[in-house]
Each structure stands twice: as structure tokens, then as C-alpha cells.
Amino acid sequence: MLSQSPSSLQIVPCSHFTYERLADIYNDTRVDYIVPMPMNARRVQEYTHDYDVDLDQSIIIENGAGRAVAMGMLAFRGQRAWITRLGVCPDQRGRKLGDYVMDELLRRARERGAKAVQLEVIVGNDPAARLFIKKGFSFNRELLILSRPPAAATTTPAPDFSIASLSETEILTSLQTRTCASSWLDDTESLVNTGHLVGFRASHANGSVGWLICKKSRFQLSHFALDVSGDCPHETILALLDTLHRSYPTQDTKFENLDALSPALSAFLNAGYIEVFRRTEMVLSL
């Protein structure tokens, strides 16, 4: 039961708020989050653009006094929906507001014709995980967030790889033909939306080939996609990472949502990446 009657709660679309206000509300709900990830207005704007967040379908919950006490965002791609930025202000927890937001977002997803909903929850955020299970979500996979400080490559890649930069057209073609499963953050749509992509292709005489694409911003490399095939995937990824970090030695690197079971993980760890935290990807068929 909601301790505040639903009639005293008001659902307001996120589109009624400025990005500054959305950032403030989001930060208020996450002030004590396990892994602090505050956002400013520019980041909220980029986030909604890059991940196709529908601000008309995303919601803020205001209490009877008009205070924003909870929020949740909803994004759509075809018949898939993504729930993100779900949060309840710390002093309002335990009042079923998370339930209320989830029910409303799922209702909106159904209404828009979504057949599946996905979301991620940080490993260790047990109350949120329990809420999602209660709503019918099931575990899909665990995703890693990796980080690497700026530096040129620290490993010596296997010799004899031929490396080439990818053109803009080749980047798009590669993304459209990739075989690895992506999370919402590194879907092709996300990468295309975010822009500023760079990419490299590595090939070896033994038939091993692969490519790596990421976003290069002023301070950071992020939004990774990669695909490798052939007999030596580990060496192929090392060759690609070596090229990437030699090309951009002053950039910090953040790789979000690498599948925890990915065979690529060992190459990233060899190249100086560390695990910062984990997310669980959960899915629900509607």
C-alpha cells in the first residue's frame, strides 16, 4: 500500500521540466547511491538524446506539497523499451513509490506497443533488484564497467597484425553487421546518436580479424563496440587496444557494460583496465 494515497501524488511528464531541474531531481534521488553518478543539465540532455529517452513518457512523481519525490525514465527503440534513472528520494523510501513509478512506466510501455522491457541495476542494490523481480523481470546477464587511466599501451601486442583506421562509413557498416549482443548503452543506435566515433580494424595472416569502435570525447574514450573472429581473438583485441591507446594516450577510458562472461575480458584486463562495478541486466516480456 502506498502510504501517500495515489490521489495525493501527481505524475508529471519529464518533458515539463528543464534539464537543470531534471538533473536536480535525479541527483536528489541518488544522493546516497552505491556508486555515485551525479549528472548536470548537459549530461541529462546528452543522455536523453543518446539513449532515445522519451521525455513525454518519462515521469516525475510529485507529492501533495508539489515536491518531486521520485522519477523514472522510459526509452523506446522499435518494440523494445528501456527503463532508466529510476529513483526515490531517500526520505521517501519505504512508501512503495518505486512500485508506483514502475507500474506507471510499464503501463506506458505496453500502451506504446513495447513487447519487451529491459533495465540494468547495480549489483548490490538489492531493494531495486527485488522490486524488479516483483514486477516480473528476470536476470539476463551481468555487465562490467571497466576503467583505464590515460597512458599509451602497456602490453606488447602479438606481431604481424595489420591495422587500419575505419572511415565514418566503415564504422556505420561495422556497427550494423556486428554479431555481439549489445546493451542499451552500446546499441548501434546509442553509438550513432552519440557521435564522435573512432574505429580500427585489425587483421592477421592467419585469418583472425576484428574491429573496435568507441566514442572519443575531450577527456574520455567511451561507448565501446567490438567484434572479433578467427583463431586468436585475445591477440586481436590486444592489437586493437594497443592501437587505440597509442592513438589517444591522454584519454581516460570507460567501457560500460561488457558482458561479464565475454572472452574479451582477459584482453581488457591485460591492457590495464580495471573493474569498477557491475550491473545486472534484467528483461521482461510484455
Partner 1 sequence: MSVIVVIDDNHENARLAARLLSPHHQVMVANDGESGLTLVFDHQPDIALVDLGLPDIDGQAIIGMIRQNPVLAHMRVVAFTAYPEETAYEIARVYGCDGVIIKPINTRVFVKQVEDILCREQT
Q: Which stretch binds partner 1 (CB under 8 A): 54-62, 67-75, 183-191, 268-276?
A: 268-276
The residues in 81-110 that bind partner 1, with binding defined as CB under 8 A, are none
* Cα–Cα dist 236/227, whole Å: 10
Least distance (Å) from partner 1 to the CB of residue 260? 16
Among 4, 12, 21, 27, binds partner 1 (CB under 8 A): 27
Report if residue 216 touches partner 1, rule: CB under 8 A: no
Q: Which is nearer to partner 1, 170 or 277 (CB)?
A: 277
* Cα–Cα dist 237/172, whole Å: 20
| Residue 78 exposed, middle or buried by CB count within 10 Å (0-12, 13-18, 19+) | exposed
Least distance (Å) from partner 1 to the CB of residue 36? 3
Question: What residue spans of 19-116 are helical by DSSP H?
Answer: 19-29, 41-50, 97-111
Q: CA separation (Å) from 24 to 42, 278, 279?
A: 12, 25, 24
Q: CA separation (Å) from 118 to 13, 123, 158, 234?
A: 20, 16, 38, 30
Among 18, 78, 154, 219, binds partner 1 (CB under 8 A): 219
Least distance (Å) from partner 1 to the CB of residue 223? 13
SS3 assignment, position 188: helix
Q: Which stretch binds partner 1 (CB under 8 A): 136-144, 174-182, 226-234, 271-279?
A: 271-279
**C-alpha of 270 from chain center:** 23
* Cα–Cα dist 38/33, whole Å: 9
The residues in 232-261 that bind partner 1, with binding defined as CB under 8 A, are 250, 252, 254
SS3 assignment, position 230: coil
Report if residue 164 touches partner 1, rule: CB under 8 A: no
The residues in 50-79 that bind partner 1, with binding defined as CB under 8 A, are none
Binding mask of the shown chain, residues 171 to 200, with x at each position contacting partner 1 by CB under 8 A:
------------------------------
Chain contacts with partner 1 (rule: CB under 8 A) = 23, 27, 31, 34-40, 42-43, 124, 147-150, 219-220, 250, 252, 254, 272, 274, 276-277
